[in-house]
Amino acid sequence: MKVALLTPYDGGNLGDAAIQEALIGNFRKYDPQAQFYGITLHPEYTAERHHIPCYPLAAISRPYYHAKNAPSVSPANVSATSPLGKSVEAPTFFERVKRAVRGSPFRTSLKPLVRFVQECAHILRSYHLLRNVDMLVVAGGGQLDEEWGGSWGHPYALAKWAVLARAAGTSVMFLSVGGCRTDLWLTNLFLRIALSLACYRSYRDEGSRQIARAITPTADGPVVPDLAFSLSFITQPSTTTTKATGLHVGVSPIAYARSGMWPTEDAAQYERYMTELALFVGALLKRGTCVTLFSSSSPDEQLFDDLHTRIDPNLESEARARLSSSNVTSVQDLLVLLHTLDFVVASRLHGLILSFLVGKPSIALSYDHKVETLMTDVGLKTYSLDIRSFTSKNLFATFLILQAKGTLVKSELNATCSHYDQLLQSQYRFVAELRASSLSSSHSKTNLVASDKHLCETRSDVGPRS
């Protein structure tokens, strides 16, 4: 089986990386011979990280949706007969047009033509790739979203790839995807096209399912937890890893509203957030707690200095020495770090999910409904604070409550994560069976729909846990 994993992933977001690792590892449980191809925003980087050949998701960059157009067949030595290997070279006609425009003194006015040529070339290459792929998987994450790149960013990319896949005879599946901002009519049109062409759809939470149903009722599907909950490797710290003496808290800031780093900028909101977070970190340091700043998305690492500069300058050097930063670059490294912590304060969805996977009681500074939904579903709603209105005082008070109940919360988290993994394993088995049935002429479309309905019924227990 040849599977293409589609995601707006550039290699820097460890949540997206965790989803890819989970998909690859679990698909191989049911088909050890499966071949994988990534369709991402930064093919070269994601190929190196996941050891699969990768192909450009888009031909043209949009604001906060930056496309790298060079396919990568490394590090795996992809043969010339592989689907990706065949698609590397652009059609000669398009290359000639691009070269002619670059050499023209009117290249600025001809820029729309260049973009049109790039898009046409990408469409032909993508179709050629899909002709040799069995299944296109829209691979989890918040993919039903217009905030990063607008309607012509990811919504358009999903519609384009879904249409090309169906034209190429390739099945399309949406697995545990999330819904975010879908306000624009053009966004809804593109997403309606993409969702309608899928043979199977599932959503990571009920809110995302309702967003999809509002786009088109035919997009209904079961609620199945985020794919990162099915990570097959939860690394224990090595014997050389030493745990800090005393309490150790991990704090993961987010670039929410920061100028130049977030689509919706709000300098006052960002300043308030960082000031309150710095006061909280300072309070932990004063009481003898060790604090490590970490990030599950590489751009957020730029915030470490912002936070350091806002820490009380009168803080004693002994207390300040308990503050450290960790620049993790892989899911494996992040899991090792999380094992050394006692508690976590984070905002990004997968920074929280990965913390849950290693049993760390966590507080969410929520910037989006998806974070609030996650905390509610895993039974931690009490420990979710709004990033726009929290204060250092109520954050610290919430932390003290969580610390007092830490053992119980950890036990409940472990049970929830185990339950979610079981649900995801059922989905992987279902997908494998669905793919097998599509290869047999004896299975009709009606049977596939009936099976999908049965899966939805068996997942009715996914949701808030007491």
**End-to-end CA separation in angstroms for the chain:** 40
Pairing state between β 54-56 and 35-40 = parallel
Give the pLDDT score at 431: 92
H or E segment to which residue 201 belongs? strand 200-203
Give the pLDDT score at 77: 40
Instruction: Characterize 329-366 residue by residue with b for buried, 16 or more Cβ atoms within 10 angstroms of its Cβ, and e for exposed.
Output: eebeebbbbbbbbbbbbbbbbbbbbbbbbbbbbbbbbb
Give the pLDDT score at 82: 53
- Mark the ranges of the chain whose per-residue pLDDT is less than 50: 73-81, 85-91, 239-242, 441-461, 464, 466
Give the pLDDT score at 5: 96
Which pair of structure tokens corresponds to residue 462? 């996914």
What strand order describes the sheet that includes 171-179? Answer: 54-56, 35-40, 2-6, 135-144, 171-179, 200-203
CA distances from 147 to 152, 196, 203, 285, 416 (A): 11, 22, 19, 36, 31
Which pair of structure tokens corresponds to residue 180? 């975010």
Q: Which residues contact 93 (CB under 8 A, 6 or more apart)?
A: none
Residue whose structure tokens are 């599932």: 202
Yes or no: say if 87 and 128 are a contact pair by the CB < 8 Å rule. Answer: yes
Q: What are phi and psi of 133, to 5 degrees?
A: -120, 140
Q: Which residues contact 146 (CB under 8 A, 6 or more apart)?
A: 153, 154, 155, 180, 181, 182, 183, 184, 187
Give the pLDDT score at 39: 96
Torsion of CA 338, 339, 340, 345, to 10 degrees: 30
How far apart are the C-alpha atoms of 265 and 260, rounded to whole Å?
8
Give the pLDDT score at 289: 96
3-state SS assignment for residue 442: coil
- Domains observed in the chain: 2-221 (3.40.50), 248-413 (3.40.50.2000)
How far apart are the C-alpha atoms of 326 and 338, rounded to whole Å?
11
3-state SS assignment for residue 115: helix
H or E segment to which residue 393 belongs? helix 392-404
Give the pLDDT score at 459: 42
Taking residue 448's Cβ as centre, other Cβ atoms within 10 Å add up to 17
Residue whose structure tokens are 């599946």: 173
